[in-house]
Every structure is written in C-alpha cells, then in structure tokens.
C-alpha cells in the first residue's frame, strides 16, 4: 500500500449514500440514565433534585398565614354553600315525596273504592233474606258514612258528602232502620 494509493481511495457515490443512510442516533434503554445518575450520586458528583425541591418550598411566614386564612375561608364558604344546597335539595325531595304520596293515596282510594263497590255488587247477588246479607248492608252503610266523614274533612263544603252525613243523622234520629239485637245493640261485623 503506497501513500498515493491511500490518497486515491475515495468512497464511490453509492458508498457515500450507503453510509449517509445509516442512523446517527440511537436511544439506549431508559435504565441506563438512571443507572448513570445513581452512580454519580454515589460518587457525590450529583445531588438529588428532591433536596432542591424541598429548598424551593420555603415560603415567607406572611404568605403561609395568608394562604391558610384563604384556605379556611374557602372551606367555610364551601361548607355553607353545601349546607344550603343540601337543605334545598332535601326540601325538594320532601315535596316530591309528598306529591308522589298524594298521587299514591288517590290511587289507593280509587282501588279501594272500586273494591268497595264490587263487594256491594257481590252482596246484592247474595240472598237478601240471609242474616249475612243484612250484616253486609250495615257494614256497607257504616263504610259509606265513614267515607263521607273523611271527604267532609278534606272538603268541608262538599255538598254530596255533607248530604250523605245529614241523611245518616236523620236516619239515626228517626225510626230505627238498622237491625238491632234483642238488647238494642247494633250488630256490626268487621272484616
């Protein structure tokens, strides 16, 4: 090999292109950085950044007091707002339950009333000469009277309910229309 030969040795354009296409950088594993940092810390060359962070968290006393006061105020404000919102929410819930309860009660009255009427219808189908039929009629009237009393409590000026009650009063003060036993006691069978 002569110096002249070495000087003439140049890469061809294709070889240049091949070398140019090679990657110039490559990331080693992430652990290598941590390994290296740890080794340098052990040698005392590096100081852990956590110590710097702690140093950086030193605040003036006035700032700390202000921050604490602001924090307490924020907490109390939040508490009051929460209580107000909670109370308002509770009231809305009670109203909703009451509204729901009224609807349910009306539905129950309707169902019970239907059952009452159906029972009376069945009673009319039973022989009208039996003692049971007589007792059923008495029970029906008592129920009707109590129902009218409740309606009057709900609507004192309701003419229908008031009329029913007046009719019951007139019947009681007039000739006995209800069956009584030999001792004069009213026989009512509750079921």
Q: Which of residues 98-137 bind another protein (CB under 8 A)?
A: none
Q: List beta partners, residue 186.
A: 180
Q: Does 6 bind another protein (CB under 8 A)?
A: yes
Minimum distance, C-beta of residue 77 to another protein, in the bound complex (Å): 35
Candidates 2-10, 79-87, 123-131, 162-170: pick the segment binding another protein (CB under 8 A). 2-10
Interface map 22-51 toward another protein (x if CB under 8 A): xxxxxxxx--xx-xxx-xxx-xxxxxxx--
Task: Kindly tell me which of 29 and 60 has the beta carbon lying closer to another protein.
Answer: 29
Q: Which residues contact 181 (CB under 8 A, 6 or more apart)?
A: 187
Q: Does 1 bind another protein (CB under 8 A)?
A: yes
Task: Kindly tell me which of 53 and 177 has the beta carbon lying closer to another protein.
Answer: 53
Angle between helices 131-154 and 159-173 (to 10 degrees): 130
What's the angle, vertex CA 66, arms to CA 72 and CA 77, rounded to 5?
25
Interface map 47-76 toward another protein (x if CB under 8 A): xxx---------------------------
Q: Which residue has the tokens 């907490």?
A: 75
> Token digits for 76?
């109390």
Report d(CA 120, CA 140) in Å as an integer.
Answer: 7
Helix (H, G, I), strand (E, B) or coil at 91: helix
Report d(CA 17, CA 22) in Å as an integer.
Answer: 9
Number of residues near another protein (by CB under 8 A): 30
Task: List contacts with another protein (CB under 8 A).
Answer: 1, 5-6, 9, 11, 18-19, 22-29, 32-33, 35-37, 39-41, 43-49
């Amino acid at each position: 090999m002569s110096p002249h030969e070495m000087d003439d040795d140049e890469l061809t354009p294709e070889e240049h292109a091949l070398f140019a296409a090679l990657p110039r950088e490559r990331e080693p594993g992430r652990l290598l950085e941590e390994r290296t940092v740890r080794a340098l810390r052990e040698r005392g060359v590096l100081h852990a950044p956590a110590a710097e962070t702690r140093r950086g968290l030193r605040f003036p006393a006035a700032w700390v007091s202000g921050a604490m006061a602001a924090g307490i105020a924020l907490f109390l404000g939040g508490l009051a707002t929460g209580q107000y919102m909670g109370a308002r929410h509770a009231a809305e819930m009670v109203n909703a339950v009451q509204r729901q309860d009224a609807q349910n009660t009306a539905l129950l009255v309707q169902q019970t009333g239907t059952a009452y009427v159906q029972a009376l219808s069945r009673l009319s189908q039973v022989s009208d000469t039996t003692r049971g039929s007589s007792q059923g009629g008495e029970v029906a009237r008592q129920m009707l009277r109590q129902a009218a009393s409740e309606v009057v409590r709900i609507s004192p000026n309701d003419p229908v309910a008031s009329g029913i009650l007046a009719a019951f009063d007139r019947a009681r003060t007039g000739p006995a229309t209800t069956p009584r036993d030999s001792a004069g006691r009213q026989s009512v069978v509750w079921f």
